[in-house]
Amino acid sequence: MRVCFRSSVQPELLGEYRRRHAAVWPEMLAALKDAGWNNYSLFMDGDGLLIGYLECDDFDSARARMALTDVNARWQAEMATLFRDSDVPPDEGFRVLDEVFNLEEQLAAATGSNAAAVVVEH
């Protein structure tokens, strides 16, 4: 499954957020991979809007596996002060977004219909 989420970093701390993510702890990287976080990326806008994307078998399970790791607890504590909503750990404050379009799925659906039989002549 594909998962996209948003969160919000304090705008005055964007440089620090970038610095920390330029060299994520190797044990955190390994924990994410072991927990099933694949093709994981973060994108940030200048106002602090943070968008995350990952692929996993089951997001709730992948989050639960990360929650069991000591490195995740330490990482979340390090990151907490950078986020606007510091009342909850950053990884619990993610707001998951609904997927409304996927090119590959629609192409596959179109190909499954008569779209594959259409020939374009130039």
pLDDT, tens digit, 9 for 90 and up, residues 9-62:
999 999 999 999 999 999 999 999 999 999 999 999 999 999 999 999 999 999
User: What is the rounded average pLDDT for all residues in the chain?
Assistant: 92
The question of whether 122 is a catalytic residue gets the answer no
Q: Is residue 117 part of a domain?
A: no
CA angle 2, 22, 60 (to 5 degrees): 30
Q: What is the pLDDT at residue 87?
A: 77
Q: What is the pLDDT at residue 118?
A: 46
Give the residue numbers spanning the domain of 12.
Answer: 2-99
- The enclosing H or E element of 71 equals helix 70-79
Residue 89's pLDDT band (cuts 50, 70, 90): confident
pLDDT of residue 120 exceeding 80, the answer is no
Q: Is residue 30 part of a domain?
A: yes
**Number of domains into which the chain is organized:** 1
pLDDT of residue 112 exceeding 70, the answer is yes
**Could you say which of 21, 64, 85, 92 is catalytic?**
21
CA angle 23, 24, 30 (to 5 degrees): 135
Evaluate whether 111 touches 35 at the Cβ level (below 8 Å).
no
Q: Is residue 114 part of a domain?
A: no
Q: Is residue 104 part of a domain?
A: no
The CATH number for 73's domain is 3.30.70.100
Stretch 87-111: mean pLDDT: 93
